[in-house]
Structure 1
Amino acid sequence: MHHRQLEVFNAVMVSGSASRAAELLQVTQPAVSRAIADLEEALSFPLFNRIRGRLVPTPEGQLFYADVRTSFVGLDRLRMSAARIRDFGAGSIRIASLAAYGNTLVPRAIRTFRDKHPEIAITFQIASSAQVRELVVNGNFSLGLAADEVDLSGVEHRVFSTGRASCVMPPGHPLATKAVIRPADLDGVPFVALAPEDRARARMNAVLDAAGARPNVVVETPFAATVCALALAGVGVGLTQAVTAEGFLERGLEIRPFEPEVYFKTYLLFPPDTQRSILVKDLVAALLAARDRGTADNPARHRSRAASGDKGGSQRPATSTRTR
């Protein structure tokens, strides 16, 4: 029993006749008949009854075809997979991200990526920066986005963004009357802080200490999105990237520029010693495009103008989520 014989048998069953099978396979009808006869001899049971020049499947032939059809479905999937690998480098892609971008920037990038590659399966996981690194280093994920406190040893990396910190607060908060928030404004104020190991928090603490300002830390959290949620709930004010506030502003969260400038740095991580597929390169391009669109439409910029009464944009915004 050979694969070509099974291919001919499958073609006859699908098309309904030896002549149509010959057309599908681009062979002669006698070649189809010979392949079927050879297969029947190898199997030791008839696949068809010959009735008035037509091939009618026997009960045994129907039973055998059920398994043959399953195997050809599997082969079709393998052909599709091979085509995706040939055209795109892989048939699926896996990305992990820190929470700050996981609910905002990355979903937009995935939408852009899917417009170009609608047939590619995507796995997307939100995790802490340390977990993102492990997922990428172990080769389980194609790329990751992590904050700068992550250990960069043993992983290929590049700077993805340096987003400037903004101050978020509940609606109606006294600080919402200010166009710009400064360290002295936060002295003694209930404050939602990032986790102690967060390097952005260390940079913020250095700025606050230099000004002699001591916010009243009431909650610590590793996730910037949680800072926004707690601020919206009235727990306290916090410092985070403007991009993280997306989705909270529509619910009333207030956001203002913070000076002096403090930045969050984010890295793109890649598995070590691994060539990047076309799919990975295209997803990186989508992430960069989403980042740049966010830079051009920074929600903190519009809020700071509204607070200062600037309608025409003449005031230089102090919270541009710049990237390098």
Structure 2
Amino acid sequence: MNSRQIEVFAAVMKAGTVSRAAEILGVTQPGVSRLIAELERSLGFALFDRVRNRIVPTPEGRTFFAEVEANFRGMDRLRASAARIRDYGAGQLRVATLSALSSSIVPNAVLRFRNLRPDATVTLMVLPSRDVRDGVASGIYDIGLAADEIDVTGVVHQVFVQPRALCAMPLGHPLATRETIGPHDLSGVDFVAYVPEDRARQRFDMILSEAGAAPPRVVVETIYAATVCALVAQGVGVGLISPYAIAGHDQSQLVLRPFEPAVQSRSLLILPPDKPKSQLVRDFIDCLMAAR
């Protein structure tokens, strides 16, 4: 049994006669009959009965044709899948991001991507930056956004955004009357800080040291920008927050002021190593860049 015999058999079943099948296939009638006879010998049962110079499918022939059609439908699905992969890349995109960008840039990028590739599925995970890095390096995620304190060994990386942090304080806070906040303004003030290994925290501590300012009173440390927003809004203390982290959150209970000198919170776009970018990945990166 070979693919040519199956093709001829399917043509005869659909056309109803050997002559019509031969015409459709562009071969001679004896050639069609020969291939059908060879297929029957290979299968071990008759596919057609010959009745008054006509061929009539046997019950076995009808059953076998149902299997052939199912196989053809499977091939059609494979061809359609191949076309989608060729045109758009794999149909599912796996993205991981740090919390600070999960309520602003990334949702905007996902919306743009859905408009561009409505048939694609996005799996989006919000994780600590080190987990984003590990997932991208191991191939679990196609694209990652992480803070710049990660170990970039084993990933392809580039700077994505590096906004200047704002000083956030609760409504009615004494510092809310100032136009800008400086290092000395925060001396002894209750403060919601990022953990010591956070690069933005390290830059902030360095600025305080270089200014000779007494440090604020750190009352909570966290890795999540959303947690800083929530704690400041509740009146726990003052904090430094990326403008991207604030977007998407209720700002009605916050007062925001520039902090000088600038403290930049830099985020990286990371990709798996030694892996060509699919069209789907390239399209999502374009959407991320447009959403900044």
Aligned-pair CA distance for 1:7: 4.6
Matched residue SS, 1:163: coil
Aligned length: 288
After superposing the two structures, state which structure 1 stretch, 260-269 or 179-188, moved more.
179-188
Distance 2:291 2:252 in 1: 23
- Read off the aligned partner of 1:222 and give its amino acid letter: I
- Read off the aligned partner of 1:205 and give its amino acid letter: D
Distance 1:63 1:168 in 2: 73
Matched residue SS, 1:144: strand
1:177-196 to structure 2, matched below 5 A, reads 177-196=177-196
1:5-39 residue CA offsets vs partner (Å, 9 max, x unmatched): 445556777x68569x959x765695777655554
Aligned-pair CA distance for 1:144: 1.3
Aligned-pair CA distance for 1:211: 4.5
Equivalent residue for 2:222?
221
- Read off the aligned partner of 2:166 and give its amino acid letter: S
Aligned-pair CA distance for 1:267: 1.2
> Kindly, what percent of the aligned residue pairs are identical?
49
Matched residue SS, 1:123: strand
Aligned-pair CA distance for 1:197: 0.8
Aligned CA-pair RMSD: 3.3
1:224-272 residue CA offsets vs partner (Å, 9 max, x unmatched): 1221122223332211111111121355443222222110111111222
1:160-179 to structure 2, matched below 5 A, reads 160-179=160-179
Equivalent residue for 1:285?
286
1:56-99 residue CA offsets vs partner (Å, 9 max, x unmatched): 673x4555455444433432332123223322444443222111
Aligned-pair CA distance for 1:200: 0.7
Distance 2:171 2:15 in 1: 71
Aligned 8 A contact 1:18 1:33 in 2: no
Change (3 A) 1:258 1:26: farther
Aligned-pair CA distance for 1:46: 4.5
Matched residue SS, 1:139: coil
Equivalent residue for 1:313?
none
After superposing the two structures, state which structure 1 stretch, 178-187 or 254-263, moved more.
178-187
Equivalent residue for 1:320?
none
1:134-184 residue CA offsets vs partner (Å, 9 max, x unmatched): 122222322211111011122221111111101223344443333322233
Matched residue SS, 1:164: coil
Consecutive unaligned residues of structure 1, counting only runs of 5 or more, are 292-324
Change (3 A) 1:36 1:234: farther
1:13-162 to structure 2, matched below 5 A, reads 27=26, 30=29, 38-47=38-47, 58=59, 60-61=60-61, 63-65=63-65, 67-162=67-162
After superposing the two structures, state which structure 1 stretch, 98-107 or 28-37, moved more.
28-37
Aligned 8 A contact 2:15 2:21 in 1: no
- Which structure is richer in relative contact order (CA contacts within 8 A, separation 6 or more)? 2
Aligned-pair CA distance for 1:188: 2.6
Distance 1:62 1:236 in 2: 78
Matched residue SS, 2:163: strand
**Quick check: which has more Rg, 1 or 2?**
2
Change (3 A) 1:263 1:32: farther
Normalized against structure 1, the TM-score is what?
0.74
Change (3 A) 1:41 1:182: same
Distance 1:248 1:272 in 2: 34
Matched residue SS, 2:197: coil
Change (3 A) 1:140 1:173: same
Distance 1:262 1:198 in 2: 12
Consecutive unaligned residues of structure 2, counting only runs of 5 or more, are none
Equivalent residue for 1:241?
242
1:251-262 to structure 2, matched below 5 A, reads 252-262=253-263
Q: Does 1:270 align with 2:271?
A: yes
